[in-house]
Amino acid sequence: MEMALARYGIRLRRISRDYLRGACPLPAHQSWSSNESFIVNTQKNIWSCQSTSCIAARGGRVGGNVLDFVALMDSCSIRDAALSLQRSFGGTACLSLHCPEQRSQESRMEGLPQFRRTTVYTPLSFVLSGVDCRHPYLAERGINPDVARLFGVGHYAGRGIMSGRIVIPIYSPQATLVAYVGRSIDGREPRYRFPAGFRKSHVLFNLHRAAKEADRRTVVVVEGFFDCMKVHQAGYRSVVALMGSTLSEGQAELLRQTFQEAVLMLDGDDTGRAATRIIAARFRQYLSVKLVHVPAGRQPDQLSLNEIQSLLVDTR
């Protein structure tokens, strides 16, 4: 379960040796009042969400195991969840689950890139208006108004689940607007609100811009939205964000098909260092890779533009 949580970039608070707790990350969860409803038992590898509305949305089920969790996060079958875990972490992930219909479907799709098989980008039917690209929070994070305007990032004061948050538009590789993510600026949980059903493991933030760069050779890979904007602001336009510290199969395929070289610039904490080692090992199978070591305890968006340029000066 801990590996699965890390795969989706989910961080929970440890309340004892065997238990984690925090906001429910499931797409079915819609309650704003239950910020501590999600509990994980790391010894038994099981989870539960105590939110009444979330339980109802899942047909009355309170929780489940790691396969149930991945199936809900990715809106897929239990068998596909097992195969997904196997691709990510190796091992024999419940391959005894058989279904003739599923085997037939897999046979028809054999040979197609993984992200093309599983990813469906549904365009949004609306665009948020009145987004304030000059909000003080953006200045505090070191993002200038021109870059905020380019990325469409700003404070949204309208109605809906993104109200009062910094909204961040997410685009498909084909430059189609597919979602908004809302960043809390008043301590409200969750810190980042993703829309129900959105599967960030199938998207790379800013890929549609990075892919337009002249040579499409090298891409800088960071963890977060603000890391990406700050690196872009420092003059490195070909930059994408994982939206977490893990690299999914779909994201890896998007990078492999678009670029020849990846520059890993993940956070300077223990999680970022560990993720750098894991992702670099995977990249080396199909991409040239360079490592940039962000100072300990810091992340790219906390660096000055000069510091970012100094770290990346040899990667152009």
Tens-digit pLDDT profile for residues 183-205: 999 998 899 998 877 888 889 99
Q: What is the pTM of this model?
A: 0.64
Tens-digit pLDDT profile for residues 66-124: 998 988 887 677 877 888 787 766 543 443 333 333 333 333 333 333 334 445 567 88
Tens-digit pLDDT profile for residues 127-166: 999 999 999 999 999 999 999 999 999 999 988 889 999 9
Q: Which architecture characterizes domain 207-312 according to CATH?
A: 3-Layer(aba) Sandwich (3.40)
Q: What is the structure's pLDDT at 34? A: 64
The answer to whether 8 and 34 are in contact (CB under 8 A) is no
The answer to whether 197 and 179 are in contact (CB under 8 A) is no
Any bridge partners for residue 180, and if so which?
169
For the chain, counts of helices (H) and of strands (E): 13, 13
Q: b or e along 273-303 (b: 16 or more beta carbons within 10 Å of the residue's beta carbon)?
A: eebbeebbeebeeebebbebebeeeebbbbb
User: Superfamily for 2-110?
Assistant: Zinc finger, CHC2-typedomain (3.90.580.10)
pLDDT at residue 234 tops 50:
yes
Q: What is the structure's pLDDT at 85? A: 80
CA 280 – CA 134 distance, rounded (Å): 36
Average pLDDT, whole number, for the chain? 84
Segments making up each domain of the chain, as ranges: 2-110, 136-201, 207-312
Token reading at 267: 């956070």
Domain topology for 136-201: DNA primase DNAg catalytic core, N-terminal domain (3.90.980)
Q: What is the structure's pLDDT at 137? A: 98
Tens-digit pLDDT profile for residues 287-296: 999 999 999 9
pLDDT at residue 60 tops 50:
yes
Q: What is the structure's pLDDT at 107? A: 34
Q: What is the structure's pLDDT at 214? A: 58
Q: Which of 21-30, 236-245, 263-272 has the lowest mean pLDDT?
A: 21-30
